[in-house]
Amino acid sequence: MPKLKGLYPPREAYASGMLDTGDGHQIYWERSGNPQGKPAVFIHGGPGGGCSSVHRQLFDPNDYDVMLFDQRGCGRSKPHASLDNNTTWHLVEDIERLRKMAGVDKWLVFGGSWGATLALAYAQTHPEHVSEIVLRGIFTLRKQELHWYYQEGASRFFPDKWQRMLSILSPEERGDVMAAYRKRLTSKDRAVQLEAAKIWSLWEGETVTLLPTEDAASFGEDDFALAFARIENHYFTHLGFLDSDDQLLKNVERIRHIPGVIIHGRYDMACQVQNAWDLAQAWPEADLHIIEGAGHSFDEPGILDQLIRANERFARA
């Protein structure tokens, strides 16, 4: 078997700043790599997860000029954990603002999990400005996907961790876990918000990898958990602010001419492999890679290998 490819060495951003959206948000952005390289935008997951310096290492710094940014309300963006003017379509236009600010006509769009959702929404809205699409851990925000992860499905594989999710809910509330958490995450009592946020966030942190990882503990840190849980629950309660349950699959026709790669772990418990399969059926021109022995996270060896290979391939396109 060929040796699996890994992350590039750490590299500092060569520029960073805050983008004023004009409606109450300040978006943190940074650029790294080669200022003369192929333009790309990295779209992080969550929603509410924020980007990290390690995400720069997914791109060859000699070949790419990569834009990373923290979506509204999370990471270094301000105001922290804000739900105001925070929808999929606000984020789509934020990406477009960043493209114009960067002065590029087209760029590679890279996203995983919720980042894949937002990447699809952006590409379908602005296909003329997308050169290639690299997606990982497909999530199209259909009701069945949310029901799987937050009601019945993944809980059967992690009954001990799911019990913690149910522990603060009354028996009556357990019939709609997302709605019950919505009440707590939007409470005026910060202590109530924080208790719910930590439990919500740890559920994801402890179930997104095939094998346990120490990184899961970071999901329970106060600031991260509050933004992550509040924003995620906000988006999921509103079904991603999409017009229909299958909007992102139905509108794939708009991007079928764009070269694409779909990468998904066989044992992804957060987003079932069926999601990737359904997207590939709608988009047969894209390359589908189902990774055996992998879950959801971008840095699981087989997934990371294919992400790096896709970026290397498109760097030469």
Which active-site residues does the annotation give?
113, 268, 296
**Alpha carbon separation from 216 to 65, 211, 224, 226, 312 (Å, rounded):** 30, 11, 12, 15, 29
Structure token digits, residue 279: 């997207």
Strand partners, 40: 66, 108
The answer to whether 200 touches 219, Cβ cutoff 8 Å, is no
Q: Which three-class secondary structure state does DSSP give residue 154? A: helix
State the residue for tokens 């999530």: 139
Q: Closest Cα to residue 288, out of 254, 313, 257, 260? A: 260
Rounded to whole angstroms, how far apart are CA atoms 66 and 88?
22
Q: Please, what's the b/e burial string for 259-268 (b: 16 or more CB within 10 A of its CB; e: otherwise)? A: bbbbbbbebb
Q: Which is it for strands 64-69 and 15-20: parallel, antiparallel or unpaired?
A: unpaired
Phi/psi zone of residue 19: left (φ > 0), alpha (ψ -120 to 50 degrees), beta?
beta
